[in-house]
A = this chain, B = another copy of it.
Amino acid sequence: MDSNHKKPLLIKVHPNDNVEVVVSPEGVLAGTVIYDNLTAIEDIPESHKIALIDFKAGDKIIRYDKIIGYANEPIPKGSWIDEHKLTLPVAPPLEELPVATKVPDPLPPLEGYTFLGYPNPDGSVGTKNMLGITTSVQCVEGILNIAVERIKKDLMPKYPNVDGLMPINHSYGCGVAIDAPEAKVPIRSLRNLATHPNFGGELLIIGLGCEKLMPEKLFPDIKEENVIILQNELGFNNMINRILEKAEEILIRLNKRVRKVCPVSELVVGLQCGGSDAFSGITANPAIGYAADLLVRCGATVMFSEVTEVRDGVHMITPRTINEEVGQKLKDEMAWYDNYLDDGSVDRAANTTPGNKQGGLANIVEKSLGSIVKSGTSAIVEVISPGEKPTKKGLIYAATPASDFVCGTCQLASGMTVQVFSTGRGTMYGLAMAPVIKVSSRTELVNKWKDLIDINAGKIATGESTIEEVGQEIFDFILEIASGTKKVWADHWGIENAICLFNPAPIT
């Protein structure tokens, strides 16, 4: 016991909350006097919750002004409320949820913000100028990877205006139930990845020739010049040479492109979190939410995702859907995922990780409430299924899995050109196809990973910055990153996570 410990820092999100979160990295020791009427009665680690009142068994535990659980035993004031002390509430029943009942008024437009992008023939705008090569089946990956090494070594140096090379390798395409109802998810994802805005309107598909997902199944009107079928080639060297020739044709065109001033309304920003902790919901994610509002005010497209991290807070966002139809689509996506998890004999509670729990997130409800704030305050104008492209600008709910790799891949398929990614425990996540801005929920993580984290939202917890200040910083940084005038750390080092298609259908 050490009651002479320096005054610890705690944070409360809403006046109605009956818990607070420990901000001090060293935690709080038993016996520490926190306020005049609150003393810690046991050691409590950083980012974990302290009881502000005496809870009886069954009492509501409130954070974010919402019930995050019920005390499953008496919890005296000053205790550490760890994950074992509360019971998970049931998920909000979908049928009864009010939709479009509290549609926010449009936020005041922000005019005049621009970035330097690569406009494409189809009207989209890229943030990178990349050679994309898509495979229709994993069979061809071994050959493509050898060709890619050759392109990097022999061709790329000749075309300095091209930012990079992206082989879209994946395990779909054959040995899968291609006519299963849910096969549409990986197929449309792959179709949309192949035509990503950062590929400059160029299309190149490498196929084998006997796969289920033939290139024409991806693009019924595909031109011969956009496809290489390896079974048509005479041996190894011809395969490599054909890919190199075609790649060089495209590189010559890409190399002539230059960045142009574009309105921020042409940006498509994806939001995600990974390795979350109890700070994520009070520092990084609210700041991202503030940046999301700024982007929406500029007319940009902003996508938030991660179904299992929205499910328990879905009642907070259905009222924000712009109309009945969008609200219903949101419920349908939640119901689809409930059923998908149920088929595997699990539910949304399967989302939380050991790291989340170590980071003070007691359960999926607490995690969800912190995750949803990334969406800011504007109306949800469209809900899209995994890998679909939005048809509207503004705030979009892209219903993807929460898995960082799968969410990232789905958001790329939806046309994302910059991702903002918050992390508490810390991940080095990066994507080759679009820059990923990493926002830390804690200052400690930034101190440890100076050369991996782009933005420190931990300053909010310590009172050094406001949510608005960090939100503005994120917004400004997005424009620099999108313009190529700054680089995220992941791109600086070349940290790239593989594409991971969401395939809810069986394999054969």
Contacts and interface: CB of A to CB of B under 8 A. Distances in A.
Interface in A89-116: none
B139 A177 contact: no
A344 B341 CA distance: 13
A507 to B, nearest CB: 5
A428 B140 contact: yes
A350 B406 CA distance: 25
A429 interface: yes
A141 interface: yes
Contacts of A407: 175
A223 interface: no
A304 interface: no
A427 interface: yes
Interface string A43-85: 0000000000000000000000000000000000000000000
B178 A146 contact: no
A448 B235 contact: yes
Q: How large is the interface on A (under 10, 10 to 19, 20 to 34, 35 or more residues)?
A: 35 or more
A142 B490 contact: yes
Interface string A138-151: 11111101100000
Interface in A292-343: 308, 340-341, 343
Given A176-B403, A275-B208, A505 B231 contact: no
Given A175-B404, A210-B355, A180 B344 contact: yes
Contact of A175 (B145, B179, B406, B508): B406
A451 interface: yes
Nearest to A343: B343
A252 interface: no
A496 interface: yes
B141 A498 contact: yes
A450 B237 CA distance: 11
B497 A142 contact: yes
**6 A-B pairs closest in CB distance:** A210-B355, A175-B403, A142-B495, A344-B506, A210-B425, A177-B350
10 contacts: A174-B403, A180-B346, A209-B425, A210-B275, A211-B355, A235-B448, A236-B452, A344-B504, A344-B505, A403-B508
Interface of A: 138-143, 145-146, 169, 171, 174-182, 208-212, 214, 230-231, 234-237, 239, 274-275, 308, 340-341, 343-346, 348, 350-351, 353-356, 358-359, 401-407, 425-430, 448-452, 489-490, 493-498, 500, 502, 504-508
